[in-house]
Amino acid sequence: MNIGQLSEASGVSAKMIRHYESIGLIPKPPRSDAGYRRYQQTDVQLLSFVRRARAVGFATAEIKSLVAMWLDRRRSAREVKALAARHLATVEARIDELKVIAKTISHLVQHCHGGDRPECPILDALADRGSDEQTENVVHVAASHRQPPRRSPGRR
């Protein structure tokens, strides 16, 4: 099958398939005499696996490990569980961060009159000019809990 057919069958765009090949997430396929990529049904399964792993938030490096474990029939389920447990801890930490952010935004919304006047405690708090000490503290607490986005090696 060609890349278009693989894309249709797996639910992964042709552009992402090429990207996954370029970063080594999936193997480069053999080529036809005309230079076209030639895929097999196993590639559909592999890309579906990758798509589902991405859907639950695994990073590219984690997916590489999961793919290697999936393909290695001698692997230990312990390794897979450990990787998934680490991912779960990351997801739970992100949920905690989002709860702090939600609390911050809720506080800011509650303290904004929302009328026609130009004064806005939301903008003041974001600009660090808030007169409400609690608003300032909430924004600073949220900012201190904010982590930079987690990026996988090879991702731009």
- Give the pLDDT score at 143: 58
Q: Is residue 141 part of a domain?
A: yes
- Give the pLDDT score at 30: 94
Contacts of 117 by beta carbon, 8 Å cutoff, 6+ apart: none
| Backbone CA torsion sign across 6, 9, 10, 13 | positive
- Give the pLDDT score at 53: 97
Distance CA 26, CA 62 (A): 13
pTM over 0.75? The answer is no
Q: Tell me the CATH number at 14.
A: 1.10.1660.10
Q: Is residue 35 part of a domain?
A: yes
With beta carbons less than 8 A apart as the criterion, state whether 150 and 59 touch.
yes
Containing domain of residue 105, as a range?
Answer: 92-145
Q: Is residue 7 part of a domain?
A: yes
For every residue of 15-30, which 3-state class applies, written as one string? HHHHHHHHCCCCCCCC
> Are 49 and 12 members of one domain?
yes
> Are 67 and 105 members of one domain?
no
- Give the pLDDT score at 144: 57
- Give the pLDDT score at 141: 54
Q: Is residue 56 part of a domain?
A: yes
> Are 65 and 13 members of one domain?
yes
Write out residues in the chain with pLDDT < 70, as ranges.
129-156
DSSP output for 67-127 = HHHHH-TT--HHHHHHHHHHHHHHHHHHHHHHHHHHHHHHHHHHT---SSSS--HHHHHHT
Domain tally for the chain?
A: 2
- Give the pLDDT score at 151: 53
- Give the pLDDT score at 47: 97
Q: Is residue 37 part of a domain?
A: yes
- pLDDT digit string (tens) for 56-68? 999 999 999 999 9
